[in-house]
Amino acid sequence: MLSLEIPRSLYPFGPRESKKAMMYSDIGRLNCNVSYTSFATPIRGQASDSKDLSSMLHKALEGAIILESFPKTTVDVFALVLESGGSDLPVVISCASLALSDAGIRLYDIVASVSMSCLGMNLVIDPVSEEESYQDGNLMITCMPSRNEVTQMTVTGEWSTPKIHEAMQICLDACTKLGMIMRSCLKEAVSAPEE
């Protein structure tokens, strides 16, 4: 069960004029910031490093955004994690992709992200915090499902070759399914009558 709350705390801003506008650029810029509230985790200060997460979010999204469609401007993505239950980064990435699409930012494809933990001989998809604390290894795959392109992959810990191949296939399949759900949500949002 995932208890990460970000729907109202993820905001794409822009495109706006880049601070580096003095130097003309044919492509836009992406700025990402991930932060945690002080009460996001049970123990204060237990949240992941925001700088690393911001960098990883940037790497995951940068290849999906059509940066040429807004030259000399910047798109800002701010994600605030209100409650962390584990597997935070994949959820932030997927939600950021939805927010960008909903905001009308042109993308090559939506970005879906899934993580998996290796716990002994078992593989656990989108692990909760407790499972993450006991994991032998972690794999996160971020991809553009319709284009069948991986935008980011991180592997930590110890994995046997057969286990990592199995985990990669499960994550890619899960990203494809998540991508279909994300598209369905976007279509539903577009067709919903405005209040």
User: What is the value of pTM for the model shown?
Assistant: 0.83
Whether 157 maps to a domain, the answer reads yes
- What is the Cα–Cα distance from 51 to 29, expressed in whole angstroms? 18
Whether 167 maps to a domain, the answer reads yes
Enter the DSSP assignment of 49: P
Whether 48 maps to a domain, the answer reads yes
The CA-to-CA distance between both ends of the chain, in Å, stands at 32
Whether 57 maps to a domain, the answer reads yes
Domain count within the chain: 1
Whole-number pLDDT of residue 4: 39
Whole-number pLDDT of residue 3: 35
Whether 47 maps to a domain, the answer reads yes
Q: Shortest CA distance to 45 belongs to which of 54, 33, 55, 37?
A: 37
170: domain range? 10-191
Whether 1 maps to a domain, the answer reads no
CATH code: domain of residue 172: 3.30.230.70
Whether 5 maps to a domain, the answer reads no
Whole-number pLDDT of residue 74: 84
Q: What is the mean pLDDT of each run of 10 residues along the chain (195 residues)?
A: 39 55 71 83 63 91 90 86 84 93 91 93 87 88 94 92 94 96 90 71
Is-contact 84 132, C-beta < 8 A? no
Enter the DSSP assignment of 65: B
Whole-number pLDDT of residue 42: 67
- What is the Cα–Cα distance from 67 to 41, expressed in whole angstroms? 35
Instruction: Give the number of other CB atoms < 10 A from CB of residue 72.
Output: 17
CA distances from 176 to 112, 138, 145, 180 (A): 8, 19, 5, 6
